[in-house]
């Protein structure tokens, strides 16, 4: 199920906000989540695309922030925003699907206000 793949990618993106994640460690982290082969590949693709394009993704987010600084965004919310942008922009997944999935993950992992904040940022960038 793609949700499991996204959740796995989200966890690694979140980790990467605090320390460098070496490419050879990605397989290990993703395998720990017990994904089937298709989801394993999908999760790795998200992570690799993020790592290849992280400066561009950061610049896009910073451009749309109003009243916030990039470094002060709650890291869970930031990881979810990054996940969504990576998947829509670099893997060409339909934005409605990705936004719905990311909002569900926000409800699971983040604060009560996070889904609205994340949706606003994504709507601003992806419109």
Whole-prediction pTM value? 0.93
Q: What is the 3-state secondary structure (H, E, C) of the chain?
A: CHHHHHHHHHHHHHHHCCCCCCHHHHHHHHHHCCCCHHHHHHHHHHHHHHHHHHHHHHHHHHHHCCCCCHHHCCHHHHHHHHHHHHHHHHHCCCHHHHHHHHHHHHHHHCCCCHHHHHHHHHHHHHC
Q: What CATH topology corresponds to 2-126?
A: N-utilizing Substance Protein B Homolog; Chain A (1.10.940)
When pLDDT is averaged across residues 2-6 and rounded to a whole number, the result is 91
pLDDT tens-digit map of 81-122: 999 999 999 999 999 999 999 999 999 999 999 999 999 999
* Extents of the domains making up the chain: 2-126
Q: What's the pLDDT score for residue 15?
A: 93
How confident is the model over 4-28, as a mean pLDDT?
Answer: 88
Task: Check residue 81 and give its pLDDT.
Answer: 98
The pLDDT value given to residue 1? 64
**Residues above pLDDT 70, as percent of the chain:** 99
> Model confidence at 48, in pLDDT bands (50, 70, 90)?
very high
């Amino acid at each position: 199920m793609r949700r499991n793949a996204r959740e796995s990618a989200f966890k690694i993106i979140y980790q990467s906000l605090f320390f460098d994640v070496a490419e050879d460690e990605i397989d290990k982290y993703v395998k720990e989540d017990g994904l089937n082969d298709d989801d394993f590949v999908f999760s790795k693709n998200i992570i690799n695309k993020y790592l290849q394009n992280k400066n561009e993704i950061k610049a896009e987010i910073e451009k749309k922030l109003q009243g916030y600084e990039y470094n002060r965004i709650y890291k869970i919310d930031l990881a979810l925003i990054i996940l969504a942008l990576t998947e829509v922009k670099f893997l060409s997944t339909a934005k409605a699907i990705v936004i719905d999935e990311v909002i569900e993950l926000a409800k699971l992992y983040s604060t009560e206000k996070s889904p609205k904040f994340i949706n606003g940022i994504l709507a601003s960038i992806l419109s």
